A and B are shown apart, each in its own frame.
Chain A
Amino acid sequence: MNRHLVLLIGRRFLAAATSLVFVVVTVFAITNVLPGDATDALLGQGATPQAVAAMRHNLGLDRSVFVRFWFWLWGILHAEFGNSLLNGLSVADAIGPRLHNSLLLAGASAAVSVPVSLFLGVTSAIWKDTVYDRVVSILTLGMVSVPEFVIATIAVYVFAVRLHLLPALADVGSVHSLRQFLSAFFMPVASLALVTLAQMVRMTRAAMADTLSAPYIEMALLKGVGPIRLILVHAIPNAIGPIVNAVALSLSSLLGGVVVIEVVFTYPGISGLMVDAVSSRDVPTVQACALVFCVTYLFLTTFADIVTILSLPRGRKT
């Protein structure tokens, strides 16, 4: 570890912190400073001015923006996201178990999609321009070009409707055996894995192909280095940074996928909560969910960048 490296990583953390501040302020700003008061949504168009005023007072909406921001921030720092405008229940309590479910879904999908796409991406870069590579390229191009729900609905159509193999809806509540667990999770996990897979394969392939076209790879070939050693010793150490970056960036598209997949399968995760909250304009819930997502995303991208920095070869760190 040299000083320069520490400086680079420090700078990356600083950038992440700046982004975090930006995210927090934006989430607050969009949901508070701009028009579209929560009272309109709650009380409807015909509410009397008195009712609106009382409601605004109750919700603290009559105080200055800065005061509200301060209270809100103070709350977040204590894992206190306020109460839902719909049912008055604590948002944090509502999010807790659902977050657990969502993380389970995302984690299981990542565990499937990361190894598969690393394999597909690296191999198609190695066998570039072969039939195998073309097939992988066209399939993944097709998959990144359609919205997530299309892949999910096709999966439902094939496995649940046509083949009657699996339940179309995820019933996490009534899981008692491993068999039930598998059948309840299989569809959402498989769909979500498929959704993220394509993106990850394409980016991994690009990173690996880039490395394989470097002059030092040709030089290694001319030294008589065999194919396995070429990949493992010469290519992978140089490609690892870009590949990890690619994987992390694609995992962040997993976050977008989670939202759609949870809704398609009525999976009891955090996204369902958020989409419902958006429909009913339940601002505290939306804020909390958005923050959870954004922080996860920020964590992933920062992690990827730090791995990239660490994998930079010596003497090339600028």
Chain B
Amino acid sequence: MAATIQVENLEIVGRRGKGAELPIVRDVSFSVQRGEMLALIGESGSGKTTVALSLLGHIRKGCRIAGGKIRVAGYDVTALTPHECRSIRGRIISYVAQNAGSAFNPALSIMRQVVEPALVHRILPRRDLEARAVSLFRALALPDPETIGERYPGELSGGQLQRLMAAMALMTDPEVVVFDEPTTALDVTTQIEVLAAFKAVFAERGITGVYVTHDLSVVAQIADHAVVLKDGAIKESGTVSKILFQPEDPYSQALLTAAEPRSRQADLARQPEQPSLLDVRNLVVGYGQPTSAGLPEKVIVNHVNFSVPKGSMLGVIGESGCGKSTLARAISGLQPWAAGELLLNGTPLAADVRERTPEQRRHLQLVAQNADSVLNPSKPIGQALERVVRFYGGLRGGAATRRVNELLDMVRLSPTLASRLPSELSGGQKQRINFARALAADPQIVLCDEITAALDTVVAAAILDLMKELQRDLGLAFIFITHDLHALQSICDRVAVLYAGQAVEVGPAVALGQGVHHPYTRLLHDSVPLMEPGWLEATQTRRLAEATPAPISPLSLDPGLCCFLARCPDRVSGLCDRVPPPVRSVPEGPRVLCHLPAFDRPEFST
């Protein structure tokens, strides 16, 4: 039997502006049998989305197919007229976009958009289609399946929209579904729910598809076969287990090494307890007018406590909107706080950076998030570094140049880069310069805000290595703010888990997978996909086997109560919805903000 999808020697070229045509996709061939899911794996710029879109006969502006053949379900896509193309899109082959938040039309209700593909191809009357949509909503575990269709995209969350987009793709019972990084923009705890919903529907309907992603552990859960793309060309293809466990191509091996959770601390001997360098005490940050309780109207960071010992690395983890970036801004002195204090070497720091002493500012350096905007585009690298060297150390002329070269060497970059402008550097190089600039101040502690978020896996892994080296060689302390639990575990000594502005748990990072934890920490830890097939099913089965959450009184809106109450699987009615959670510490373990440890194990001290 012929394969459902067959791509042969596909060549796509494109041009930027008025430049010459450059190849984007080079000699790509693969095939997908009925009922199979193929993963297209690649990093940014690998051409994976271009290939995926070409299956629908859609080539973005400025690009064109220069050669090769694409056959989907018996149609020769490369030879179709625009009208024929339209007739297969949404009917024979459908598409799930990366960012459902912007791929849904904000002006139309969900139901109108979900039934549209079936409606324009005149598959069924509208009424029957709406009934089918509701059953799909139910199959994808969406809340209120009967009425969710009446709502508008702006009123729903990212995870819900992503599942609705899948429902839209499945409306016509297409032969092929193309998923383009459908969970990349989601938080991990949402991602696992969406993946589970997808997987259930795949199993039920036997869907043939292509799944575009850069995340190898997602590939392990979803796909049967995989293709590794780099710079528009196939590096390796085969079954998922072959690619994940016996990769042959050096690039696939590099990808895997970078993605594998591995500890970078093995070589670090256990050090004696160090004195505290930075203490965050009861910090409250927010916006708006203070209320009667003296707190801001909208609290973003809520009574957070932790400390960073000299030369150690503290990871701060949480999902988007949990207040981790605001925390970073407050510590850097860019966002005033409403209550609490911040101590550096035991001395209180002023909330406003301008009121801190030069010495205090030098000791605490910020490495900001976005590699693209972190360097002044009109200043050569050398000048940017020299400024810091002069600003803090007062070095000038030859001494300054020597120090700049030394710094570039520290971050493993060539001194010849000093004369370059930031636009001439790669993302990874920019992030290294970013570090060099912080190091130029000769700091004691460096605050890193999501520095690996925008980087490709391989590049990000190298940056993590660099951080660990710096910690070891210079005795630097770090606060590493991230949403990536694997990255955090691989380099950090301690971890603070942030949820809705509260540090629900602070403890040693090694213990994250074992022992007693806050329910949110557990949820977070269990939601990070592992690179083993079957992990998703096992996790889901385990979760379903656990008791359903206890009912809570609907009046439990007191802001003093546990912030995780609404989502907590372990909550206790009459306790969690009545009494604010106490702070409990586990000997040799974490300090958590929860009733549960005491409830489970009465021996824990309060």
Report A's interface with B, CB cutoff 8 A: 214-216, 218-226, 229, 233-234, 237-238, 313-316
Asked if B121 and A215 sit within 8 Å, CB to CB, the answer is: no
- 8 Å CB contact of A226 from B86, B91, B105, B152: B86
In the assembled complex, the CB of A232 is this many whole angstroms from the nearest CB of chain B, namely 12
Asked if B89 is at the interface (CB within 8 A of a chain A CB), the reply is yes
Asked if A223 and B87 sit within 8 Å, CB to CB, the answer is: no
In the assembled complex, the CB of B176 is this many whole angstroms from the nearest CB of chain A, namely 12
In chain B, positions 105-130 with a C-beta closer than 8 Å to chain A are 105-108, 116-117, 120-121
Asked if B89 and A233 sit within 8 Å, CB to CB, the answer is: no
Question: Could you list 12 A-B pairs, sorted by A, with CB under 8 Å?
Answer: A218-B97, A222-B94, A223-B94, A223-B120, A223-B168, A224-B121, A225-B120, A226-B86, A313-B107, A313-B154, A315-B152, A316-B106
Which single residue of chain B is at the shortest CB-CB distance from A221? B58
Q: How far is the CA of A237 from the CA of B105 in the complex (A)?
A: 10
Q: How far is the CA of A219 from the CA of B152 in the complex (A)?
A: 16
Q: How far is the CA of A243 from the CA of B328 in the complex (A)?
A: 41
Asked if B588 is at the interface (CB within 8 A of a chain A CB), the reply is no
In the complex, chain B residues whose CB is within 8 Å of the CB of A238: 105-107
In the assembled complex, the CB of A132 is this many whole angstroms from the nearest CB of chain B, namely 17
Q: How far is the CA of A223 from the CA of B153 in the complex (A)?
A: 17
In the assembled complex, the CB of B15 is this many whole angstroms from the nearest CB of chain A, namely 13
Residue in A214, A224, A233 with the greatest tally of chain B CB atoms within 10 Å: A224
In the complex, chain A residues whose CB is within 8 Å of the CB of B550: none
Number of interface residues, chain B, beta carbon within 8 A:
31
In the complex, chain A residues whose CB is within 8 Å of the CB of B104: 216, 219
Asked if B345 is at the interface (CB within 8 A of a chain A CB), the reply is no
Q: How far is the CA of A229 from the CA of B117 in the complex (A)?
A: 12
Asked if B88 is at the interface (CB within 8 A of a chain A CB), the reply is yes
Q: How far is the CA of A315 from the CA of B87 in the complex (A)?
A: 32
In the assembled complex, the CB of A311 is this many whole angstroms from the nearest CB of chain B, namely 8
Asked if A222 and B107 sit within 8 Å, CB to CB, the answer is: no
* Pairs of residues from A and B, 9 with the lowest C-beta to C-beta distance, nearest first: A315-B154, A224-B90, A224-B89, A313-B106, A315-B155, A314-B152, A237-B107, A223-B90, A316-B154
Asked if A222 and B89 sit within 8 Å, CB to CB, the answer is: yes
Q: How far is the CA of A223 from the CA of B156 in the complex (A)?
A: 21
Asked if B90 and A222 sit within 8 Å, CB to CB, the answer is: yes
In the assembled complex, the CB of A86 is this many whole angstroms from the nearest CB of chain B, namely 55
Asked if A216 and B58 sit within 8 Å, CB to CB, the answer is: no
Q: A220-B116, A315-B154 are in contact. List 18 more A-B contacts (CB 8 A).
A: A216-B104, A219-B103, A219-B104, A221-B58, A222-B95, A223-B89, A223-B94, A223-B95, A224-B87, A225-B86, A226-B120, A229-B120, A233-B108, A234-B108, A238-B107, A313-B152, A313-B153, A313-B154
Q: How far is the CA of A314 from the CA of B107 in the complex (A)?
A: 7
In the assembled complex, the CB of A240 is this many whole angstroms from the nearest CB of chain B, namely 9
Chain B, residues 252-282, CB within 8 Å of chain A (1/0): the string is 0000000000000000000000000000000
Q: How far is the CA of A221 from the CA of B106 in the complex (A)?
A: 16
Also in contact, A234 and B94, with CB within 8 A (given A223-B120, A229-B120, A313-B154): no
In the assembled complex, the CB of A227 is this many whole angstroms from the nearest CB of chain B, namely 9
Asked if B56 is at the interface (CB within 8 A of a chain A CB), the reply is yes
Asked if A216 and B120 sit within 8 Å, CB to CB, the answer is: no
In the complex, chain B residues whose CB is within 8 Å of the CB of A224: 86-91, 117, 120-121
Asked if B383 is at the interface (CB within 8 A of a chain A CB), the reply is no
Asked if B99 is at the interface (CB within 8 A of a chain A CB), the reply is yes
In the assembled complex, the CB of A67 is this many whole angstroms from the nearest CB of chain B, namely 41
In the complex, chain B residues whose CB is within 8 Å of the CB of A214: 102
Residue in A219, A220, A223 with the greatest tally of chain B CB atoms within 10 Å: A223
In the assembled complex, the CB of A54 is this many whole angstroms from the nearest CB of chain B, namely 59
Which single residue of chain A is at the shortest CB-CB distance from B109? A314
In the complex, chain B residues whose CB is within 8 Å of the CB of A225: 86, 90, 116, 120
- 8 Å CB contact of A314 from B53, B56, B90, B154: B154
Which single residue of chain A is at the shortest CB-CB distance from B62? A129
- 8 Å CB contact of A215 from B99, B151, B155: B99
Q: How far is the CA of A238 from the CA of B113 in the complex (A)?
A: 14
In the complex, chain B residues whose CB is within 8 Å of the CB of A223: 89-90, 94-95, 116-117, 120, 168
Chain B, residues 30-61, CB within 8 Å of chain A (1/0): the string is 00000000000000000000000100101000
Which single residue of chain A is at the shortest CB-CB distance from B165? A219
In chain B, positions 137-166 with a C-beta closer than 8 Å to chain A are 151-156
Q: How far is the CA of A237 from the CA of B108 in the complex (A)?
A: 8
Q: How far is the CA of A315 from the CA of B160 in the complex (A)?
A: 15
In the assembled complex, the CB of A242 is this many whole angstroms from the nearest CB of chain B, namely 12
Which single residue of chain B is at the shortest CB-CB distance from A313? B106
- 8 Å CB contact of B56 from A220, A222, A237: A222
Q: How far is the CA of A215 from the CA of B97 in the complex (A)?
A: 9
